[in-house]
Amino acid sequence: MTCIAIPNRAGHRLPSLGAIQRTNAIIGLLASAALFYLRNPLAALSCALAVAVVIGNLYFLAWLVRSILEGAATGAAGGWGAIALPLKLLLIAGLVYLLLHGAHLDALGFAAGLLTQMVAVGLETARWRRLWPRRLHLE
């Protein structure tokens, strides 16, 4: 498993987006299996759909921010970046509403699927801090 560590301004290393999403998919699979066993198949399906929503949301956000920054660097961004991020948020909120109320999904299973992203970020950050401990550089 290869991950790219990106040093930030403080010199700390951060996990890559792919590593976070891979961990999120694994945690989502485990959470769906647990919900299937402990609750019902609808809760497991709801969890899996929520995991797909948060994975898609993060990739879409990364693409959107990258394109805004590239446009700003070339001077061609204009004002579309100012409305693109709120529109993305509205789009995701509408999708979640349609999934929960339109498809009659299990709210507990869906909430469990949404929480997998935060758990994945925490686990990957802890893993990278263990792999790349903070060192003091005295010059």
pLDDT digits (tens, 9 = 90+) for 55-78: 999 999 888 888 888 777 777 666
Phi then psi dihedrals of residue 33, to 5 deg = -65, -40
What's the N-to-C CA distance of the chain in angstroms? 35
- Report the C-alpha gap between 7 and 30 in whole angstroms: 31
3: three-class secondary structure by DSSP: coil
Kindly indicate the confidence band of residue 29, based on its pLDDT and cuts at 50, 70 and 90: very high
Max Cα distance, the chain (Å): 61
Q: Give me the chain's average pLDDT, please.
A: 83
Say which DSSP state 70 is in.
Answer: H
Cβ of 41: how many Cβ atoms within 10 Å?
A: 12
Triad 133, 138, 139: Cα angle to 5°: 135
What's the pLDDT tens digit per position in 83-118?
888 888 899 999 889 888 888 899 999 999 999 999
What's residue 135's pLDDT? 53
For residues 120 and 23, is the Cβ–Cβ distance under 8 A? yes
